[in-house]
Structures are given as structure tokens and as C-alpha cells.
């Protein structure tokens, strides 16, 4: 449905006409600085989008009881949502790099709105899977295009813009379980429909951002493309860099998936907490993730992306190895430290990849966010099967070794040398 609506608008013609319709807009991108209202608007939209996405795993305990699901079935719901989003994102980004579709953002959020309605009224496991897939389609259209807008408005501070954009999503991920605990858990599955109001607010914000792109974004994009034409890595270095990034993304997001999907179950089983009490701990972890993400971008602008990646992975390793062996209080403390340190890597990884392959912002953003969703989905499903077989406590002992894969950072080429 959204594809048809978006096809009605000839974006290329509109974009070509925008400099004449707005005198001075062609000159703006070459002199503009960091446009906080635009980057902040993209971050707000990311907050609203990811708040909705975080609602899905937050209601897993409710769905597990209501539909008598196993951990494996819970993992399959997460897999359907995240793989649907991950498979579409790079292709959407690649297509819109060549054929801009500015109205794709609000149209994609309409799909998310439909997915929420299906989730609130689902009466079978098959319908739950369908709802998860529809929400995944909405997420696939959002991330590459919204990330592109944040970069266009960055004024050259790409890491700061990306981390600001990403912290909006992480904040939404932290708020989502709290709202779910307050709205859905006490009143049941039908209360999921209240999240449709969040989707409507996101549609409005994305429409306003789309209007800015139509007025100013094209000339900015052309300027960035010219600036990046002489930068980037060679073909062999790009291949090596992407292989290492995939490995680092695997380590980061399988480990994060253990928290976002199963931390409540871990706390309930090991320490006997209630669902609502355990979700407060999940909120604390996700809030730490949001804070760490915000710090990673500006620091990367100053000291380099590679240094931030080193710190993120090796800095978190001692905390990860200790977490399965401590009590409740130290579990909360270590979860905060893990969230703060490990989350700083994502903005650095995204901007590193964009610098390595200039001129393909949509494709690279879609690939990075797609990898995030795909790896998280596969990880969630795999961890669910392992939890059914060995127990959730055993799973946390296993994944504690994943941050050690950060040693592969040594193989990443230095994009700053490519620039020079």
C-alpha cells in the first residue's frame, strides 16, 4: 500500500525544482553548520519508531502466557520481525540512492501503524508472525532514509549527527518497555492499540522532515557526494573492512539481543523477580545504551572511529565475563556499564562504513541497520533454542565471551589515511 502511495509523487522532479522555488537554498548546504532542528527531528522520529519496536519484545512474557508459547516460538517472532526489516533495508537504501523517494518515510510509518493494529487484535500465533512482519517492513523503510537525513543536516559532523540520531532510537527502546509495563501488561494484548498514537505522531514528524528534504536536502546531498568523490578505500580494503564490520556487528548485536529479548527472563529465573520489576532493570540497561550511543559519535569525530570501536569492545569484556557470576545489585551495575561502553561502537561503525564507501549513504545505512536487525533476529532465535535446551542462565554464561571478538578491530583499515 505504501509503495503505491509513494509512487504517486514524482520526487526527482520536485527535488530538481526546489532550489528555484526557494531562493538561496542552493547556497545553504555549502555554508550551513550542524542543523540541530533537523537532526533533532530525525532523532525524535527514531525515538518514536524504536519505542514501537521495543514494545514487541517487551510483551513477549504476556504473549508466552496468553498463547502458551515456548522460548523457541518467542525467538521465531523476533526472527520474523528483525529478518523482514534487515532483508529490505539495504535494497531500499540502494534504490533511493539512485531514485530519491522522500515520501517513503511517512508511508513506511503507515505500515508500522497497520502492524500495531494487527498485533493488538491477533488471535493466533500465525497472526502474531504476520503482525511482526508488517512492523518489520515499516522499520525497513525508516532507518536508511532517516539516517540519510541526519547526515545531510550534520554540517560535516557526521559522527555527532549519527550518534544523536541513534540515541533517539535507543531512548525510544528504553521507554518502550516502561510504557508496555504501564499500559499493556496490566490490561492485556488489546492495550497494544494505544501505541497507534505513537505511530501517528511519527508520521507527522516524518512528513515535516520530508518537506525539509524537498526544499534543501538535494543540494546538500550533491555537495556531500562531490566532497566524498575523492575519498574512500580501495576495493580490497573495502572488502576486508566489511568482513571485519560484519564480525563486530555479530558480536555486538547477538550480545545485545541477549539483553533486549531475554534479560527479563534471566532476572525472573535467577533472582525471582516479577515481570514488571524485571522490566525496570531492562529500562536501566537500555537507558545506559542510549547514553553510551550519544557519547560514541562526538568522540569518534575527535579521536577516530577505529579508536572508539577498540574501546567499546575490549572495554566491555571484563564486565561481560563477570556478569553471570554476581548478585542482583552487581548485575544491575554491570548491566549499566555494559550498556554505556558497548553501545558507543554503533555510530562509529556506521560512519566508518559511510566513509569507506562514499556516495552510497542509503545503501550503507540500510546494510548497517539491516545487519543489526538480521543478526539480532538470528541471535534471538538461536538464543531462544539454547535457552529451551540449557536454560537462560547458561546462555548468559555463553554470550559473555562475545566481546572478545573485538580483537578483530586490528584488521580494520584506517579511513583517515584514505582521506589524506
Q: Is residue 254 part of a domain?
A: yes
Q: Is residue 79 part of a domain?
A: yes
Report whether 35 contacts 165 (CB < 8 A): no
CA 121 to chain centre: 26
Domain count, the chain: 1
Q: Is residue 373 part of a domain?
A: yes
| CATH code (residue 81) | 1.20.1250.20
Q: How many CB atoms lie within 10 A of CB 228?
A: 17
Q: Which of 315, 310, 292 is nearest to 352 (CA)?
A: 310
List the domain range (segments joined by +) for residue 47.
32-419
Q: What is the dihedral angle through the alpha carbons of 122, 110, 164, 159, rounded to the nearest 10 degrees?
A: 110
Q: Is residue 8 part of a domain?
A: no
Q: Is residue 361 part of a domain?
A: yes
Can you give the pTM of this predicted structure?
0.67
pLDDT one digit per residue (tens) for the chain, 420 residues: 444 444 444 433 333 333 333 333 333 344 467 888 899 999 999 999 989 988 888 888 888 888 988 888 888 888 888 778 777 777 777 777 777 777 888 988 999 999 999 999 998 999 999 999 999 888 888 888 888 888 888 877 888 888 888 888 878 877 888 898 889 988 889 999 999 999 999 999 999 999 888 887 555 555 544 444 445 567 778 788 888 888 888 888 888 888 888 898 999 999 988 888 888 898 889 888 878 877 777 777 777 778 888 888 888 899 999 999 999 999 999 999 998 888 887 778 877 877 777 666 666 766 776 666 667 767 877 888 898 889 999 999 999 999 998 888 888 887 655 444
DSSP readout, 210-240?
Answer: HHHIIIIIHHHHHHHHHHHTT-S--HHHHHH
Q: Is residue 27 part of a domain?
A: no
Q: Which of 66, 74, 176, 81 is nearest to 385 (CA)?
A: 74
Q: Is residue 81 part of a domain?
A: yes
Q: Is residue 156 part of a domain?
A: yes
Amino acid at each position: 500500500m505504501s509503495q503505491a502511495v509513494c509512487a504517486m509523487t514524482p520526487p526527482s522532479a520536485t527535488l530538481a525544482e526546489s532550489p528555484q522555488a526557494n531562493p538561496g537554498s542552493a547556497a545553504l548546504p555549502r555554508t550551513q553548520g550542524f542543523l540541530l532542528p533537523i537532526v533533532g527531528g530525525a532523532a525524535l522520529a527514531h525515538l518514536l519508531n524504536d519505542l514501537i519496536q521495543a514494545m514487541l519484545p517487551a510483551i513477549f512474557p504476556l504473549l508466552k502466557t496468553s498463547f502458551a508459547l515456548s522460548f523457541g516460538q518467542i525467538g521465531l517472532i523476533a526472527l520474523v520481525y528483525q529478518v523482514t526489516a534487515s532483508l529490505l533495508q539495504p535494497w531500499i537504501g540502494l534504490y533511493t540512492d539512485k531514485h530519491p523517494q522522500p515520501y517513503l518515510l511517512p508511508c513506511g510509518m503507515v505500515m508500522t501503524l497497520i502492524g500495531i493494529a494487527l498485533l493488538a487484535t491477533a488471535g493466533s500465533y500465525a497472526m502474531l508472525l504476520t503482525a511482526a512482519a508488517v512492523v518489520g517492513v515499516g522499520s525497513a523503510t525508516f532507518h536508511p532514509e532517516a539516517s540519510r537525513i541526519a547526515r545531510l543536516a550534520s554540517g560535516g559532523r557526521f559522527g555527532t549527527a549519527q550518534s544523536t540520531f541513534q540515541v533517539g532510537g535507543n531512548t525510544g527502546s528504553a521507554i518502550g518497555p516502561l510504557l508496555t509495563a504501564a499500559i499493556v501488561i496490566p490490561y492485556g494484548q488489546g492495550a497494544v492499540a494505544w501505541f497507534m498514537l505513537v505511530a501517528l505522531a511519527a508520521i507527522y514528524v516524518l512528513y515535516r522532515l520530508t518537506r525539509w528534504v524537498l526544499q534543501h536536502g538535494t543540494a546538500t546531498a550533491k555537495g556531500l557526494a562531490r566532497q566524498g568523490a575523492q575519498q574512500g578505500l580501495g576495493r580490497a580494503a573495502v572488502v576486508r573492512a566489511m568482513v571485519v564490520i560484519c564480525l563486530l556487528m555479530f558480536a555486538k548485536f547477538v550480545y545485545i539481543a541477549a539483553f533486549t529479548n531475554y534479560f527479563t527472563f534471566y532476572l525472573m529465573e535467577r533472582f525471582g523477580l516479577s515481570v514488571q520489576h524485571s522490566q525496570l532493570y531492562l529500562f536501566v540497561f537500555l537507558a545506559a545504551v542510549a547514553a553510551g550511543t550519544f557519547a560514541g559519535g562526538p568522540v569518534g569525530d575527535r579521536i577516530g572511529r577505529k579508536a572508539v570501536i577498540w574501546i567499546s569492545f575490549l572495554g566491555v569484556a571484563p564486565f561481560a565475563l563477570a556478569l553471570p557470576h554476581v548478585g542482583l545489585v552487581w548485575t544491575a551495575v554491570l548491566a549499566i556499564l555494559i550498556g554505556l561502553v558497548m553501545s558507543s561502537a554503533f555510530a562509529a561503525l556506521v560512519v566508518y562504513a559511510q566513509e569507506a564507501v562514499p556516495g552510497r549513504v542509503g545503501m550503507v545505512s540500510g546494510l548497517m541497520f539491516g545487519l543489526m536487525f538480521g543478526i539480532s533476529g538470528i541471535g534471538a532465535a538461536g538464543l531462544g533454542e539454547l535457552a529451551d535446551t540449557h536454560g537462560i542462565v547458561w546462555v548468559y554464561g555463553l554470550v559473555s565471551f562475545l566481546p572478545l571478538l573485538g580483537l578483530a578491530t586490528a584488521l580494520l583499515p584506517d579511513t583517515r589515511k584514505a582521506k589524506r
